[in-house]
Every structure is written in structure tokens, then in C-alpha cells.
């Protein structure tokens, strides 16, 4: 597992047709978000990121953890011009492809 002090993550967003739409980069390794570190080790859950100010390309929360094939978990939340979006309705998660929509 990577240490939070060297963490840089990229969230890739794809259209329904599979075309890349945007990459959002969280490059806040070793920095603090408010009074706490932006990244923390979340134990068996992997790594977690939280930044209410959304300085990392609009991302406010991100977490992920490695698991056996097909069992991995990842989530992200972000802001865009004051509007927060959650992609929380999963349409497909077969271990190779993940699709979710805003609810």
C-alpha cells in the first residue's frame, strides 16, 4: 500500500460510450486540509482523502482499497462551482468496468 505522504491520484471520468471525458487530479501528498492531513490510512478500507475546500481539482472526498479481483472498492465526491455531486447509483460493476450515475 502506498503511504499517504506520496499519494497522487487521478479520477478518470468516461462518457456512456466509453470515451474519456475528464481527468481530475488530487495531488495533495503530505499536505493538510484544515487542521488534519488530507490523506489518511483507513485501515482495511485502504486510503481516504477529505478536503472540504476541494483544492484537489474539485474533489472533496475520495477513498479506495485493494481487494481480490472483482471486489475492489472506490468512491469519490466533488464540487463544481458550489454544486456537489454524488455518483451513488451503480449501474455496472463487474470487476473490469464501473459505471455510476448522479442521484
Model confidence pLDDT, tens digit, residues 45-83: 788 899 998 888 888 998 888 777 777 777 888 876 544
Secondary structure, 3-state, 29-92: CCCEECCEECEEECHHHCEEEECCCCCECCEEEEEEECCCCCCCEEEEEEEECCEEEEEEEEEE
38 in a domain, yes or no?
yes
100 in a domain, yes or no?
no
102 in a domain, yes or no?
no
CA-CA distance, 9 to 18, in Å (whole number)? Answer: 20
The domain tally of the chain equals 1
101 in a domain, yes or no?
no
The model carries a pTM of 0.65
Higher confidence at residue 39 or residue 80? 39
Sign of the dihedral defined by the CA atoms of residues 26, 28, 34, 40, in that order? positive
Q: What 3-state DSSP class applies to 6?
A: helix
99 in a domain, yes or no?
no
CB 26 within 8 A of CB 8: yes
- Range of the structural domain that residue 29 is part of: 4-94
Mean pLDDT, range 23-52, rounded to an integer: 86
Amino acid at each position: 500500500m502506498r503511504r499517504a505522504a506520496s499519494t497522487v491520484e487521478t479520477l478518470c471520468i468516461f462518457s456512456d460510450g466509453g470515451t474519456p471525458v475528464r481527468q481530475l487530479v488530487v495531488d495533495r501528498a503530505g499536505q493538510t486540509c484544515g487542521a488534519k492531513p488530507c490523506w489518511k490510512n483507513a485501515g482495511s478500507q485502504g486510503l481516504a482523502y477529505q478536503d472540504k475546500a476541494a483544492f484537489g481539482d474539485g474533489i472533496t472526498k475520495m477513498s479506495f482499497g485493494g481487494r481480490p479481483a472483482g471486489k475492489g472498492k472506490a468512491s469519490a465526491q466533488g464540487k463544481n462551482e458550489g454544486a456537489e455531486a454524488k455518483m451513488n447509483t451503480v449501474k455496472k460493476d463487474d470487476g473490469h468496468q464501473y459505471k455510476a450515475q448522479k442521484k
